[in-house]
Amino acid sequence: MMKQKGKEGMIQEINIEADEWAEAVLLLQFRSYAVEARLIGFPDLPPLQDTVATLQQCGERFYGYIKQGQLAGAISYERAEKTVHICRLMVDPGFFRQGIASALIEFVCHQERNANEIIVMTGSANIPALRLYMNVTVSAKSNK
């Protein structure tokens, strides 16, 4: 298992095939993406439709940010040749504005430093996410 110290937490690889981890990620995902859904006015965001099974079968690589003994944030991505696509970035609302999302993105950028491109997508009305992505070395694409 790969681990790296974050600013005040630990980033570790998540075995999404393990039911316990998949359930923890799913709960985190629902809490985090519910906030985004309200921000952009789109209650049917695809991450809010996931199940433990769909997470376990998605084929993405997951890392979690552990803080105060709990899963405070997570990121998942896929890599195709020299391109990394960040599929999910989520932070528990109780841990917002603590640098967790930035730490997770920086971690993936470091892990995949030989990639030519790192891509992430978000809704054009998700101003906090757009600001975050503009502050890191990621090619941000907005879904309208």
pLDDT of res. 8:
62
Task: Report the pLDDT value the prediction gives residue 91, as an integer from 0 to 100.
Answer: 95
* Helices 100-111 and 127-134, axial angle in degrees (round to 10): 40
Average pLDDT, the chain: 85
For residues 75 and 109, is the Cβ–Cβ distance under 8 A?
no
In angstroms, the CA 130 to CA 56 distance is 28
Q: Cβ-count burial of 48 within 10 angstroms (0-12 exposed, 13-18 middle, 19+ buried)?
A: middle
Query: Quick one: pLDDT band at residue 45, thresholds 50, 70, 90?
Result: confident
Q: Flag whether the pTM goes above 0.95.
A: no
| Position with higher pLDDT, 41 vs 58 | 58
